[in-house]
Amino acid sequence: MTPELVDIRPLLAVLVSLACAGAVFAVRHRARWRAFWSLAAAGIKFALVWSMLPGALAGRVYVYQFGELLPGVAFGFRVDALGLFFALVSSTLWVLTTIYALGYMRGSHSLHRFFGFFALCISTTVGIAFAENLLTLFVFYELLTICTYPLIMHNEDLAARRAARKYLVYTLFGGGLILAGMVLLHSVTGTLSLAETGILDASVGDHWLLAIFLLLIAGFGVKAALMPLHAWLPAAMVAPTPVSALLHAVAVVKAGVFGILRTIYNVFGIDLLRDLGYADWLAMLAGVIMVVASVQALRQKEIKARLAWSTISQLSYIVLAAALLTPLAALAAIIHIANQAFSKITLFFVAGAIERGTGRKRVDELAGVGRLMPWTMAAFTLASLSFIGVPLMAGFVTKWYLSLGALDAGAGIYVAVMVISGLLNAAYWLPMIHQAFFKPLPSEPGNDLRNRPRVSSMMIGPILVCAAYVILLGAGASAPSMPFSLAEAAARFAFELEVPLE
């Protein structure tokens, strides 16, 4: 049994962002204070979450309980390896995204609202990560829906309203499914704990199990943009870039994926799912999505739309890996949360920087941008190579363990699917790099890009840090106190293995 320690840090980590939101709302239009509070809270949260890493690596589990929200269902936090991994990713990216957003959003309207809800989003994300049971997770999950809504709406024009409405309709529907699944689950098991490796067992009866599985997976699948529940994601691209980055890389989609992982590893448990065979279908679905979404991405002409479809494809890597039900695939699923996050956020940051620096939003307008913004485009190149799965970049690590996991599961076909998906990734990223670096700047009279507005260094800095992380995650897996070992611990817990994975 893992030693559980009562610790206030999980609570503080959630509260820091909450307090930050309050402070940001309170200072209203004083930009300096807004920046100060946002950065201070991001920094404190970062330190708090990372300070739990050594303990977690040593096998400790931090808990903090408030008491019961409902009979038999407590409201509390429990920091296990999987949750801490997710929290590490989001708190790290919050720091970077905050800095980037301060640069990107300069001069926009309603900034206190923007940064306030931004902080709330991260607060709820960490709440999801640390949730001790499904109900606590659901609380933060729904709050996240609500807190992201003003961010998508930020531009307050027709397109933003439409997208936000679509987002809400989808996510509320998903939330409803989760709630229904959760009620079913509680009524058959009497618990919603996420501390076990499976709270269900076969005695519950097949049709109940199937209903719970479908409800929870479809419910979380909405935010995880699992096709065919994905349509909100490309639409939500109207939001400001830092929000898209947050939606795609950190908070929203990862919350969905995290929910799916929790469903598979902690609610059903590996053994039960293996007996039931539902996961095979899920894996098949994920495999199809991987390819179909990539083909869709190939057809997009807007940079951000392409990024959105690529996200859908990448998320299905995680779902596939989780559904394969082998230890190495689980490792791939967990580690890909970080890998996809850092790679994708780099791309989003770059897309935003290009938009700010040159006003270009379309793939075919990128000609010569590499000349104007060499560092930015270099970062873009690294991140896209990561998605293609070139060794040394983060994406390769996923691809490798996912392949081994698929072979372990006797499903070698997924290796082929992944290779194809990698090629499709190459087919839509490399032309952009080609445009940016090898095509000359078009010389349009009256539109001299050489006199373009300078891109703030507050945007370039996070881009470079994220790109460095992409390499660090790809090449530094064995370095001491890297999240990799945490992911491994989480995978081991799910499979109840004592020895390190291979």
Partner 1 sequence: MIEWSHWLPILAMLPLVGGALTPLLFRHRPAAACFWAVSVASVTSVVAIALLLRLVDSGGFSYAVGGWLPQYGIELRMDEVGAFAVPASLLVLLSLVFSRHYVARAVDASRVSFYYALVLINLGGLNGFLVTGDLFNLFVFMEIFSVSAYALVATAREPIASLAALKYLLLGAASSLLVLFSVGVVFAMTGTLNLEDAAAALALSSPMPAGLALAGLATGFAVKAALFPVHFWLPDAHAAAPAPVSAVLSALVVKAGIVGVLRTLELFGGAESLLQPLLHLVVWLGALGALGGALMALVQRDIKLMLAYSTVANIGYIFIGLGLATASAVSGAMVHAVNHAVIKSALFLAAGAMIHRTGLRNIDDLRGLGRRMPVTAFGMAFTLIALSGAPPMAGFTGKWQIALGALQAGHPSLVAVLVIAGIVVLAFGIRVINALYFRPPARVAVASATEAPASMWLPVLMLTIASLALGLAGTPMLEFVGPAAQSIYGTLP
Partner 2 sequence: MSGASSLSLLALLAVLVPITGGLLVFTAGRWNHRAAGLAVVGVVSLGSFAIVIVMTIAMAWQASHGLQAESVLFTLVPPIDIALRVDAMGALFAATIAALVPLALAHAVGYLPDDARQWKFHGFVLVSLGCMTGVALSANLVTLLLFYELFSLLAWPLIVHERTPEAFRAGVKYLVYILSGGGMVFAGVALVYWLADSAQFMPGGLLSHSMLDELPRGGLIAACCLLLAGFGVKAALMPLHGWVPDAHPAAPAPFSAVLSGVMVAVGVFAILRVLLEIFGPALLVELGVLPWLAGFAGVAVVAAAILAVAEDDLKRRLAYSTISQMAYVSLAVTLLDPTALAGALAHITHHAFFKGGLFFCAGSILALTGLRKISRMRGLGRRMPWTAGTLTLLALAMMGIPPLSGFVGKWTLGSGMAQAGGFGHLAVILLGSLLAAVYLWPVIYRIWQRPEDGDPMQDGPSADVGRERRRWMLFAVLAAGCITIALGVAAGLPGFPLELARLAADQLLGVSAWK
For residues 451, 453, 456 and 459, what is the CA-based torsion angle, rounded to 10 degrees? -100
Total chain residues near partner 1 (CB under 8 A): 34
State the binding partner of 277 from partner 2, partner 1, none, CB within 5 to 8 A by kind. none
Cβ atoms within 10 Å of 475's Cβ, excluding its own? 15
Name which of residues 74 to 113 contact partner 1 (CB under 8 A): 75, 113
Question: Of 71 and 440, which has the nearer Cβ to partner 2?
Answer: 440
State the binding partner of 228 from partner 2, partner 1, none, CB within 5 to 8 A by kind. none
User: Order of strands, edge to edge, in the sheet holding 61-70?
Assistant: 4-6, 61-70, 73-79
State the binding partner of 446 from partner 1, partner 2, none, CB within 5 to 8 A by kind. none
Question: Of 274 and 439, which has the nearer Cβ to partner 2?
Answer: 439
Question: What's the CA gap between 320 and 396, in Å, rounded?
Answer: 16
Q: How many residues does the chain have?
A: 502
Query: Do the Cβ atoms of 381 and 343 come closer than 8 Å?
Result: no
Q: Which stretch binds partner 2 (CB under 8 A): 176-184, 298-306, 314-322, 423-431?
A: 423-431
Q: Which helix (H) or strand (E) holds 116?
A: helix 111-130
Going by the DSSP 8-state scheme, the letter that residue 358 receives in this structure is H
Question: Of 76 and 405, which has the nearer Cβ to partner 2?
Answer: 405
Structure tokens at 456: 């703030």
Residue type, 212: I
Structure tokens at 197: 């490796």
- Binding string, 443-482, against partner 2, x = CB under 8 A? -------------------------------xxxxxx---
Cβ atoms within 10 Å of 454's Cβ, excluding its own? 8
Question: What's the CA gap between 261 and 397, in Å, rounded?
Answer: 19
Among 76, 368, 395, 422, binds partner 2 (CB under 8 A): 422
Question: What's the CA gap between 460 and 374, in Å, rounded?
Answer: 11
Among 174, 221, 389, 483, binds partner 2 (CB under 8 A): 389
Residue type, 106: R
Question: Of 121 and 402, which has the nearer Cβ to partner 2?
Answer: 402
Question: What's the CA gap between 345 and 418, in Å, rounded?
Answer: 21
Among 1, 29, 71, 158, binds partner 1 (CB under 8 A): 71
Question: Of 237 and 334, which has the nearer Cβ to partner 2?
Answer: 334
284 contributes a contact to partner 1 by CB under 8 A: no
Q: What are the angstrom distances between the C-alpha of 350 and each of 231, 238, 244, 294?
A: 24, 16, 12, 20
Question: What's the CA gap between 11 and 131, in Å, rounded?
Answer: 10
Name which of residues 147 to 166 contact partner 1 (CB under 8 A): 149-150, 153, 156, 161, 164
Residues found near partner 2 in the complex (CB under 8 A):
385, 388-392, 396-397, 399-401, 403-404, 407-408, 412, 415-416, 419-420, 422-423, 426, 430, 434, 437-438, 440, 474-479, 484, 488, 502
Question: Which residues of this protein are in contact with partner 1, per CB under 8 A?
Answer: 66-71, 75, 113, 135, 138-139, 142-143, 146, 149-150, 153, 156, 161, 164, 168-169, 172-173, 175-177, 179-180, 183-184, 186-187, 211
